Structure 1
Amino acid sequence: MLTTGALRAHLLAARLAGVVATSREESLRSYRLFAARDPRLLIGIDPEWSWGQRDLMELMATKCGVSADPAHTSGQDVIDPERTLAALDAFAERIAAVAQRGAPVLFGTGHPRWLLGFYAALADALSSAGCEVLTPAQGRCVDITTRFGLRTHNLDYVRGVGLMREPGTVRPGCEPGAHSHSPLPVRVALAAAAEGGGPLPELVVGDHGWVCGAGQLGFEAIGLADTDDPALFVGEAEGSVSVVVPLDDAVRSDYYGPLTRYVLNRACLSQ
């Protein structure tokens, strides 16, 4: 069994927490754009409160452990591993609760290259516990705004985890998918589930727009977020998102394996 101390050491060694790859400049730019209500940073959240850049800096200092000093404008960001561990415990509690009810769940990621394995292991465990892992709108086309303009992607599921693909890249059901912050995939998936008369998820698990888009629509949502993704933490602060785990969301995929084992153990879902 992975102890809290061992996981803390792993977080620091893998740079999932501690000094992370995300730069202070990237994070400050994100806070500035979020404060200006740029949809690229809102990623599905419609904030109820007024969030200035300084407000966001203070929120992220509380939630992640980054510096709250506005004079700190360069270098690498820092995530407090204790905050990551506490959030992982809360994350595991929500996974355990849905497993106990045998309730339907929906998984989705905008970071399939790195995080697909983490979510897929959770999906497998919840399926084994009697939860239906939903895959609505499989293959549906979704028009997403990218830095190259409007591009059509297809909604696909790999091991029960929703992701976006550029048409013609690889055959459906295979890795990897496209990097995306958009809330449109989860909106399309939830609309398809509702229109089809099938079950709606009692919990949505993921990152980026999957969490923010679902939370904004009133679904319980939990996920992972980096220091340059303030939308999820704003959602958590305002109550539209249940749990956000602060960590670097773009390290090697195998580095998330110990987090998977920790969450499954805490949720009493270990094989």
Structure 2
Amino acid sequence: MTQPYDRALLRKHLLQTRIAGDVATPREGNLAHYRRMVAKDPDYQFGLALKAWTFDETLEMMARLCGVNPDPRYRQGSDTIDPELTIDALDAMGDRIGRAARERETVILATGHPGPLMGVYRAVEDALRAAGCAVLTPAAGWSYQVRTDSGPRMREIAYTSGVAALRADGRLKHTHDPHPMQAMLSELRDGPDLWPDLVIADHGWAGAAGEAGIDTVGFADSNDPALFAGHAEGKVAVTVPLDDGVFPEYYEPLTDYLLNRAALNA
């Protein structure tokens, strides 16, 4: 583990790597996704039964919680994530993970962005296991069919150690889908296993857990408004704004900061 980053150093790193600040996520994509959430498109609800949001309310909420440009007349170009909001949310997430460690809670970890973010989740998993937490791995191998541009394809829940993701054709896949987390929770309800005290996740994995009433902390990009809306509605405890698609190694200082906040650094 590297030397823990303080707030000022982490802020500089977030800006340099474009995890926050002027991010690569295009403004036109952000606005399109906000409209899809407002229109109740299932792919942009992330498993959350959200209230009726207007576009103006959504843009205001994303400016407040994520740091995107609040001007509705700004329609093209890059958008922004406020690094101060990112670090504030990391502090809140770290505090919640630290409580889970102290109380030896039962935890689920899952990601819809296994390429960039798996290292973050694996580091958190290792730290929580070392603290005595139970990490649940329900519904391993559960599979279902999804529609793709090339036709129907099978996806299955696969675990990297204790971190759930979707797999197809031997590779882990990006997903917004809440159904895998719903299947995991259904198995836990029907079986003898423990119920999670905390879920650490993103995309539909986080949304479905929050909708089920589980204490949930997660990561979300500026084009993923549902988890921020879930936080605004009190269904998601913490949503950390960040670009979720940069090089995996760029998240290492962020991970170190998070574990240091949780008092879980070796």
- TM-score w.r.t. length of structure 2: 0.96
Deviation at 1:150, TM superposition (A): 4.3
1:50-89 correspondence to structure 2 within 5 Å? 50-89=52-91
Gaps of 5+ in 2: none
CA contact (8 A) 1:144 1:184 kept: no
Encode CA deviations 1:28-77: one digit per residue, 9 max, x unaligned.
00011111101011120111x32011110000000011111110000001
- Residue 128 of structure 1 corresponds to 130
Structure 2 vs 1, CA of residues 19 and 218 (structure 1 numbering), >3 Å: closer, same or farther?
A: same
What SS does structure 1 have at the residue aligned with 2:173?
A: coil
Distance 1:109 1:94 in 2: 18
Deviation at 1:142, TM superposition (A): 2.6
> 1:10 aligned to 6, 10, 13, which one?
13
Partner letter of residue 237 of structure 1?
A
Deviation at 1:146, TM superposition (A): 4.2
Out of 132-141 and 150-159, give the one that drifted further: 150-159
- Residue 42 of structure 2 corresponds to 39
- Residue 215 of structure 2 corresponds to 220
Deviation at 1:85, TM superposition (A): 0.6
Structure 2 vs 1, CA of residues 263 and 199 (structure 1 numbering), >3 Å: closer, same or farther?
A: same
- Residue 201 of structure 1 corresponds to 196
- Residue 252 of structure 1 corresponds to 247
Deviation at 1:149, TM superposition (A): 5.2
Structure 1 position 184 matched with structure 2 position 184: no
CA contact (8 A) 1:60 1:227 kept: yes
Distance 1:209 1:145 in 2: 16
Deviation at 1:112, TM superposition (A): 0.3
Partner letter of residue 172 of structure 2?
G
> 2:29 aligned to 13, 26, 31, which one?
26
Encode CA deviations 1:187-227: one digit per residue, 9 max, x unaligned.
11111122221011110111000110110111111110001
- Residue 142 of structure 2 corresponds to 140
What SS does structure 2 have at the residue aligned with 1:21?
A: strand
Gaps of 5+ in 1: 171-175
Deviation at 1:161, TM superposition (A): 0.5
CA contact (8 A) 1:35 1:51 kept: yes
Out of 246-255 and 193-202, give the one that drifted further: 193-202
What SS does structure 2 have at the residue aligned with 1:177?
A: strand
- Residue 107 of structure 1 corresponds to 109
Distance 2:122 2:259 in 1: 12
Structure 2 vs 1, CA of residues 110 and 148 (structure 1 numbering), >3 Å: closer, same or farther?
A: farther
CA contact (8 A) 1:112 1:178 kept: yes
RMSD, aligned α-carbons? 1.1
Out of 261-270 and 147-156, give the one that drifted further: 147-156
Structure 1 position 237 matched with structure 2 position 224: no
Deviation at 1:144, TM superposition (A): 3.3
Distance 1:97 1:19 in 2: 33
Identical positions, percent: 45
- TM-score w.r.t. length of structure 1: 0.94
Structure 2 vs 1, CA of residues 214 and 94 (structure 1 numbering), >3 Å: closer, same or farther?
A: same
Partner letter of residue 36 of structure 1?
A
Distance 2:147 2:233 in 1: 26
Deviation at 1:151, TM superposition (A): 2.8
Distance 1:110 1:215 in 2: 15
Partner letter of residue 264 of structure 2?
L
